[in-house]
């Protein structure tokens, strides 16, 4: 089983959206040998997904209401086969604890929508959706 980990800052917007979008695509394609998780570099407690992240995904039929933020751990890094960071800065921060061979910046850098309007979150969602086929291609190499 291959393990993919998405990483952003607070694990309330980008990485949980990426996790849910990839899981939905894997389910649609009946791909069962890939697991997906997400975490943040600077998580404050067990926060829910941001309201606009929930709404942006709900528009695509995906429910992330049950998400709670998770602080990244060394164990998560060690267990992941692929770590997709939302920005170069996230990958730089992980270089101290992760094998660089498993660190990847998203095919399109995903700016932080935190605090933005629903339209900003929709744009974020759509950028992540554009990345999903490229991520699957990378994982299947």
Q: Annotated catalytic, 13?
A: no
DSSP letters, 24-86, are HHHHHTT--SEEEEEEESS--SSPBPPHHHHHHHHTTT---TT-B--B--HHHHHH-SEEEES
Identify the active-site residue in 8, 13, 85, 124. 8
Mean pLDDT, to the nearest integer, of 37-51?
96
Q: Which domain covers residue 94, as residue numbers?
A: 2-136
Instruction: Give how many domains the chain has, as a whole number.
Output: 1
Is 51 inside a domain boundary?
A: yes
Is 28 inside a domain boundary?
A: yes
Identify the active-site residue in 37, 63, 78, 112. 112
Q: pLDDT digit string (tens) for 60-102? A: 999 999 999 999 999 999 999 999 999 999 999 999 999 999 9
Q: Annotated catalytic, 8?
A: yes
Domain CATH code at residue 45:
3.40.50.2300
Identify the active-site residue in 13, 14, 122, 124. 14
Q: Is the pTM of this model over 0.95?
A: yes
Q: Which residues of 56-77 are buried (b: 16+ CB within 10 A; e: fewer)?
A: bbeeeeeebeebebbebeeebb
Q: Annotated catalytic, 81?
A: no
Is 141 inside a domain boundary?
A: no
């Amino acid at each position: 089983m291959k393990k993919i980990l998405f990483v952003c800052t607070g694990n309330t917007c980008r990485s949980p959206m990426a996790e849910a979008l990839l899981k939905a695509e894997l389910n649609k394609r009946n791909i069962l040998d890939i697991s997906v998780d997400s975490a943040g570099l600077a998580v404050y407690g067990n926060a829910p997904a941001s309201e606009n992240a929930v709404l942006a995904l709900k528009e695509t039929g995906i429910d992330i209401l049950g998400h709670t933020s998770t602080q990244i751990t060394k164990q998560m890094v060690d267990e992941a086969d692929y770590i997709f960071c939302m920005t170069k800065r996230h990958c730089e921060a992980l270089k101290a604890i992760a094998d660089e061979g498993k660190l990847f910046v998203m095919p399109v850098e995903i700016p932080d929508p935190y605090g933005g309007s629903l339209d900003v979150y929709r744009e974020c969602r759509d950028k992540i959706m554009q990345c999903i086929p490229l991520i699957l291609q990378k994982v299947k190499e």
